[in-house]
Chain A
Amino acid sequence: MTLMTMIVKMSEGLGKTCAIFFLTLIFSLPLGMIVALLRMSKVRVVSAITRFFITVLRGTPLMLQLLAVTYGPYYLFGASVARNKLIPVVIAFSINYAAYFAEIYRGGIESISIGQYEAAEVLGYSKLQTFMRIILPQVVKRIMPSVTNEVVTLVKDTSMAFTVSYQEMFTIGKQIANSQTSFVPFLVAGVFYYVFNVVVDYVMGRVEKRLDYYK
């Protein structure tokens, strides 16, 4: 198999790699905010339960979580394994990343001084207005570097979908590597991920720059 054929075959999986990446971001970024707010809930039980789930999601391998979400229903209830693996893969990734984003959001929210809330309160801002207009924009700016870190990691983590044989780029590469007894597909995969992350870095850099108008 020529290098060109390998590249073409693996590119066919890029769409699925991108699907995991974008769908995970679309679901986990907002979900993380909900988790963060639950984590900071004044109701002790709510915050304790949320905290427990976060520690589980951060404290166990993503690979294990992928397997659990994909095959768990079969072993537990005898349900058939999803025909389209994208669904369990995106669920597992979204929940896992939401846990990480939640902790980043929480750190950001807690770093805003209480005086900002008080100033808004005295001026008659409602709780929602205070959060959406005063707190959140400042949080977003502060957490951008940490979020970029997670997004870069996510690009590489999509390769873990191979554990449930979802036909994304790395899974295809691994299959070629096995059948051809060649290391080249892994090098190709490495280049793909690197280029992907160069783009991610550029985009996130632009976003950070746009938030640079104040300190």
Chain B
Amino acid sequence: MDTSNSPSILSIRGLQKSFGSLSVLKDISLSVERGNVISIIGPSGSGKSTLLRCASFLEQADGGDILYDGQYALRDGVYASKAELNRFRTRFGLVFQNFQLFPHYSVLKNISEAPLLHGEDKEEVRERALSLIRKMGLEGKEDAYPYQLSGGQQQRVAIARALAMRPEILYFDEPTSALDPELTGEVLKVIRQLAEEKMTMVVVTHEMPFARAVSNRVIFMAGGVIVEQGHPLEVFDNPQEERTKQFLRVFER
């Protein structure tokens, strides 16, 4: 499938999105290189989640470009065909704030149904699902139902479910915001582990120490624009913009 040698898995250029008269994304541009982890931080309502939702086609952007591996999914505000978008969809995975596991499916089925529906080999999918379950530290939970799991365990199942589709890039939309503080650690740990394995990821998060430790790049968004971005040490320790400083001060406690 690698027809392009473009180093960026995802490129976004001049992305625009409004809800009615409210402009949520104003001319957003960013690119994500293979193997990188990018954290997006910023106050609520800054458009971070909307950005991820546009990148995963859950929201329809009003203008700009979205490219996966150099191929246009959105060009100048016009989307590619349905069939093409479906192909792009196999390239990314998305982990939601509130997990969105399928409650009527066991852990194993939650993880394995999507690849099976894509016509993959049954045994192969099963092996992959079981190894993902082990990797997420959920051995013995194969047949459990989501309601029998803690929030942290549910989110790890959701991560395994996304990974089972073997995405090239994984999006996290505030993956620990719905968790009790003592459970955020176990989820951040598996994301960190994925980062060490060079999984390409974009993480919208409020966990500043995590963003600082794991990301190659931090993007600070406010009011629908990217205010500042750079290496985590630069952004966190030496922010240039007043808006960034103001935001980060809240976390200095």
A interface, CB within 8 angstroms of B: 113, 115-116, 118-125, 129, 133-134, 137-138, 141, 213-215
Contacts and interface: CB of A to CB of B under 8 A. Distances in A.
Contact of A122 (B58, B102, B104, B146): B58
Interface in B75-91: 86, 89-90
Interface of B: 56-58, 86, 89-90, 92-94, 96, 98, 100-104, 113-114, 117-118, 145-147, 161-162, 165
B172 to A, nearest CB: 12
Given A123-B114, A124-B165, A141-B104, A118 B58 contact: yes
A116 B104 CA distance: 12
Contacts of A141: 104
Contact of A138 (B56, B58, B86, B103): B103
Contacts of A121: 57-58, 89
Contact of A116 (B58, B93, B94, B102): B102
Interface centre among A115, A123, A133 (most CB of B within 10 A): A123
Nearest to B165: A123
Contact of A124 (B86, B102, B104, B145): B86
Contact of A137 (B104, B114, B146, B161): B104
B83 to A, nearest CB: 12
A119 B102 contact: yes
B117 A125 contact: yes
A133 B89 CA distance: 19
Contacts of A213: 145
Contacts of A123: 93, 114, 161-162, 165
Nearest to A129: B117
Given A213-B145, A214-B145, A214-B147, A124 B117 contact: yes
A140 to B, nearest CB: 9
B113 A122 contact: no
B146 A115 contact: no
In the complex, the 4 A-B pairs of residues with the closest C-beta atoms, listed nearest first? A119-B100, A123-B114, A215-B147, A115-B100
Contacts of A214: 103-104, 145-147
B103 A215 contact: yes
Contacts of B94: 119, 122
